[in-house]
């Protein structure tokens, strides 16, 4: 029997990827780099500084900035991103999420958020779903980002369950690889991009029956 659910945030609970994209596109363009939606797929699940590094490599500018300048660029992107997040409301929950979380609560299955985003607590508040989560892993406490399994193992530890008792939910390949490296059952949330290695693929969370799922 599975005993807990571990959710990615961006792409599973809500679609903040579009806001990340707008903010990164603006920032990149201010330093003479163009990015498009295809490139943006590479940034999903990847931390803020790693995202900036990938953008700089993409633009051939990986040596152009000092660490302090890169930190300033990442800060500038985040300020814009947080401005865009102000518009979030509970209507921005992805379809089926609320129903699934209600089912989990009804069946007393504890839930965790394993998001690379330092803005996760703010986003969950805007969506009015903070109370559904027993644990929100703080990515600042981790040594490695996805696809390393660390964030998922930390979430299981904080939920007080083993990896084998956890089910992870991810929309991005990096995150899915992290769940599998943690030896957990992986639900892939498919949004149009190919996902490899999921134990189960769904388009919306309410395709899943909580009681069936925990028996896997
Ligand atoms: P922040 P997830 C990730 O969220 C995003 O997919 C990724 O694009 C972003 O760079 C990362 O969070 C860090 O976000 O800049 O807000 O700290 O998919 O892990 O929920
Ligand atoms: Mg994601």
Condensed to tens digits (0 to 9), the pLDDT of residues 87-114 reads 999 999 999 999 999 999 999 999 999 9
pTM value is 0.94
Pairing outcome for strands 166-170 and 200-202: unpaired
Please name the residue whose Cα sits nearest to atom 13 of ligand 1. 117
Please tell me the predicted confidence (pLDDT) of residue 216.
86
pLDDT in tens, 119-128: 999 999 999 9
CATH superfamily of the 4-15+93-214 domain: HAD superfamily/HAD-like (3.40.50.1000)
Could you tell me the CA-to-CA distances from 79 to 42, 74, 124, 165, 192 in Å, in that order? 21, 9, 18, 38, 29
pLDDT of residue 192: 80
Taking the CA of 146 as reference, the closest ligand is 1
What would the CATH number be for the domain defined by 17-85? 1.10.150.240
Does position 193 have pLDDT exceeding 90, yes or no? no
Query: Look-up: residue for tokens 């330092």?
Result: 118
**Where does the chain hold its CATH 1.10.150.240 domain(s)?**
17-85
How far apart CA 188 and CA 169 sit, in angstroms, is 6
Terminal CA-to-CA distance of the chain, rounded, Å?
Answer: 7
pLDDT tens digits, residue range 54-77?
A: 999 999 999 999 999 999 999 999
Element containing residue 185 per DSSP (H, E)? strand 185-189
Task: Tell whether the model's pLDDT for residue 194 goes beyond 90.
Answer: no
- Percentage above 70 pLDDT, the chain: 100
Give the phi and the psi of residue 135 in degrees, each rounded to 5: -140, 135
Tell how far the Cα of 51 is from the centroid of ligand 1, in angstroms. Answer: 9
């Amino acid at each position: 029997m599975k005993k807990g659910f571990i959710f990615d945030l961006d792409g599973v609970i809500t679609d903040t990827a579009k806001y990340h994209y707008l903010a990164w596109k603006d920032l990149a363009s201010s330093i003479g780099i163009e990015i498009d939606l295809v490139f943006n797929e590479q940034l999903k699940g990847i931390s803020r500084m790693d995202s900036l590094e990938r953008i700089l490599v993409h633009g051939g500018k990986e040596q152009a900035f000092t660490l302090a300048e890169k930190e300033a660029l990442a800060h500038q992107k985040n300020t814009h991103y947080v401005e865009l997040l102000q518009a979030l409301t509970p209507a921005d929950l992805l379809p089926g999420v609320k129903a699934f979380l209600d089912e989990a609560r009804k069946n007393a299955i504890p839930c965790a958020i394993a998001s690379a985003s330092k803005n996760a607590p703010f986003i969950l508040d805007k969506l009015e779903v903070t109370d559904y989560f027993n644990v929100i892993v703080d990515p600042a406490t981790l040594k490695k980002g996805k696809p390393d399994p660390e964030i998922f193992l930390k979430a299981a530890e904080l939920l007080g369950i083993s990896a084998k008792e956890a089910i992870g939910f991810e929309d991005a390949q990096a995150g899915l690889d992290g769940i599998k490296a943690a030896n957990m059952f992986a639900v892939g949330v498919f949004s149009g991009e190919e996902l490899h290695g999921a134990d189960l693929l769904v388009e919306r969370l309410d395709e899943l029956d909580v009681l069936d799922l925990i028996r896997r």
